[in-house]
Amino acid sequence: MLLPFRRDALRERARLDEADEADAYEHTTPSERIERSLELSELARELARAVGGAWTEQASAGLAEKARVYVAPMRAVGR
């Protein structure tokens, strides 16, 4: 059974959303992209901690370490 959705309107909305995301991506710097990636990583870690994921306790996976290695040097270059 097909639900009564206007599928053409949904396709158009999806196309517009993809275009907006591509445009926003083009206007970000590499350091901003890495910073967003680290934020998403932290969210994933919080979710994993909430469900008892043991990998979140590994020292090498710390976000402070990732920021030190990746984000700080890129910010220094941008100045």
pLDDT of residue 5: 81
Instruction: Render pLDDT for 31-54 as a digit per residue (tens, 0 to 9).
Output: 888 888 889 988 988 888 888 877
How do the domains of the chain map onto residue ranges?
Answer: 30-79
pLDDT category at 60 given cuts 50, 70, 90 is low
pTM recorded for the entire structure: 0.47
CA distances (Å), origin 66, targets 22, 27, 49 = 26, 23, 18
Backbone angles phi, psi at 52, to 5 degrees: 85, 25
CB 70, CB 39: distance < 8 Å: no
Instruction: Render pLDDT for 12-32 as a digit per residue (tens, 0 to 9).
Output: 999 999 999 999 888 888 888
Instruction: Report the C-alpha gap between 60 and 11 in whole angstroms.
Output: 42
